[in-house]
Homo-oligomer: A and B are copies of this chain.
Amino acid sequence: MTKPIIFGEIKGIPEGYVFKDRRTMMKGSFHRNWAGGIDGTGKTGVAAIVLSGGYADDEDLGDTIIYTGAGGNEGDSKKQTKDQDWHNRGNAGLLKSMDEGLPVRVIRGAKHKSLFSPKEGYKYAGLYSVIDAWEGIGKNGFKICRFKLEYTGSNPQRQTTEDIELDYSTKEKKRIESVVLRIVRDTKIAREVKQLYNYQCQICDHTIVTKVGRYAEGAHIKPLGKPHNGDDNSNNLICLCPNHHVMFDKGLFSISDEFNLLGNIAGKLILKDKHKINLSNLAYHRLAHGYS
């Protein structure tokens, strides 16, 4: 794996693209791991995974995939004979992807049993996010590392099982009425800002230490998306712990042009010299939350 790791979409390979074999996927860094399912490490995060029928505990619901981590199989055998562990480079990589919000390219092989698998070769299923990780005992009686991935690409024409699901839910049991309280999105530039601060919150200096690194959230000062249309630029981003992120987004505190905290919290924004904030973004946040 000497080629550089590339995250996200790769030009010329749209969703639904079918590769003839694994060798052709290695070109252009689409999936660089010839022998394993996981392309990436605990240091970099994971750029791509292949589902190829190697693990009995995988479940594929289309937009949701339950993926078994790497390790535990003897040699080239398809049968698990040992426990898996989180220090395996692929498993640590998927944890890193979850903590960093990295996009993972998912590829289904013909040997993988699902409604979405290709008849031949390897089909690109689009970008997914790792949203959960846990361990359990697999069908072969050994410990497995499990991951839940959800489709986060932007193709509205993709094939899903949503209709089937809706149908099941009325027959089997009532769908649980749940509402989205909070969605935290992450971007490449947000990750750079978080790295600059070593994942320490710019308000309280706190960090959350995870199994494979640290966790913090990138907060856009002037929000992304309509109607704010803030920039995805480091001059519009700060690194916050989840508590201070919630408070900042709700306008429970704001920040002056001198980086003093306004509102419910006293103190000053922790700021590195090389991190230049665009003051007009701070002005936007103050105006939006009644601080001017």
Q: Which A residues form the contact surface with B (CB < 8 A)?
A: 8-9, 59, 61, 64, 66, 86, 98-103, 127, 129, 131-136, 146, 148, 150, 152, 154, 156, 160, 162-163, 166, 175-188, 206, 208-211, 215, 217, 223-228, 232, 241-243, 245-247, 249-252, 264, 287-290
By beta carbon, the residue of chain B nearest A156 is: B162
Report the bound CA distance from A206 to B250 in whole Å: 17
Determine the chain B residues whose CB is within 8 A of the CB of A211 once the complex forms: 250-252
Shortest Cβ distance from residue A113 to the other chain B in the assembled complex, whole angstroms = 16
By beta carbon, the residue of chain B nearest A9 is: B177
The answer on a CB contact under 8 Å between A160 and B150 is no
Report the bound CA distance from A225 to B247 in whole Å: 28
The answer on a CB contact under 8 Å between B185 and A184 is no
The answer on a CB contact under 8 Å between B180 and A290 is no
Determine the chain B residues whose CB is within 8 A of the CB of A98 once the complex forms: 250
By beta carbon, the residue of chain B nearest A102 is: B179
The answer on a CB contact under 8 Å between B210 and A103 is no
Shortest Cβ distance from residue A52 to the other chain B in the assembled complex, whole angstroms = 20
Give 24 CB contacts A-B under 8 Å. Answer: A59-B227, A66-B226, A127-B179, A129-B179, A131-B180, A131-B182, A132-B223, A133-B250, A134-B251, A134-B289, A135-B288, A150-B180, A152-B179, A156-B162, A156-B163, A176-B232, A178-B186, A178-B224, A180-B183, A181-B185, A183-B184, A208-B252, A241-B243, A242-B243
Report the bound CA distance from A50 to B160 in whole Å: 32
Report the bound CA distance from A242 to B247 in whole Å: 10
The answer on a CB contact under 8 Å between A61 and B177 is no
**Given A131-B183, A287-B136, is A64 in contact with B226 using a C-beta cutoff of 8 Å?**
yes
By beta carbon, the residue of chain B nearest A251 is: B134
Determine the chain B residues whose CB is within 8 A of the CB of A184 once the complex forms: 180-183
Determine the chain B residues whose CB is within 8 A of the CB of A66 once the complex forms: 226-227
Report the bound CA distance from A18 to B219 in whole Å: 40
Shortest Cβ distance from residue A60 to the other chain B in the assembled complex, whole angstroms = 11
By beta carbon, the residue of chain B nearest A150 is: B180
Report the bound CA distance from A37 to B166 in whole Å: 31
The answer on a CB contact under 8 Å between A101 and B181 is yes
Determine the chain B residues whose CB is within 8 A of the CB of A217 once the complex forms: 181-182
The answer on a CB contact under 8 Å between B180 and A59 is no
16 additional A-B residue pairs with CB within 8 Å, beyond A135-B289, A182-B184: A59-B227, A64-B225, A86-B290, A103-B179, A131-B180, A131-B182, A133-B251, A134-B228, A134-B251, A180-B185, A180-B186, A182-B182, A211-B250, A215-B246, A215-B250, A242-B243
